[in-house]
Amino acid sequence: MLEGTLDGSAGVMVREGRMAHRQQSESPDGERCFSERRSEPRVVVDLSCRALVGRVPRRYRVLDWSCGGALIEHGGHPPPSAVHTILFDDGSNRGLHVLARTVWSSDERHAVCFLALNEGDRLEVAEGFDRMLAGRHHG
């Protein structure tokens, strides 16, 4: 079970959890079950992004994110099955480009982990999302 708190400055729900892998198993009645392990705190958001899958940009919605990855709604498009670039409009001139890999997917959503992030990159991701959230609440 995830515990959540409301971050008053941004007005968003911050959930403590783990996001690295989603493991699949079967329940006793034969249904698929998923359990998530998250390594970073996550923030519930509703932001648009584009993913470059090959040369084709696709529009998606980010449902929650952390500095290590994101939960994305792919709205009928198949989720990327390989490493791809996600482009976020963070309010800067160049935007925020993050290399990602799909960790798991369902009919409507998929989770990605961000790849090759050093501490400076992680800070840039966090600051980029702060700019996006500030723009939504003040713009």
- The residue ranking higher by pLDDT, 77 or 16, is 77
Instruction: Say what the pLDDT of residue 65 is.
Output: 85
DSSP helix/strand/coil, 130: helix
Question: CA 107 to CA 105: how far, in whole Å?
Answer: 7
CB 65 within 8 A of CB 42: yes
49-77 pLDDT, tens digit per residue, is 889 877 788 899 999 988 789 999 988 78
For the chain, list the domains and their CATH numbers.
42-138 (2.40.10.220)
| Highest mean pLDDT: which range of 5-9, 15-19, 21-25, 87-91 | 87-91
Higher pLDDT, 126 or 9: 126
Q: What is the pLDDT at residue 90? A: 65
* pTM (two decimals): 0.64
User: Would you place residue 111 in the very low, low, confident or very high pLDDT band (cuts 50, 70, 90)?
Assistant: very high
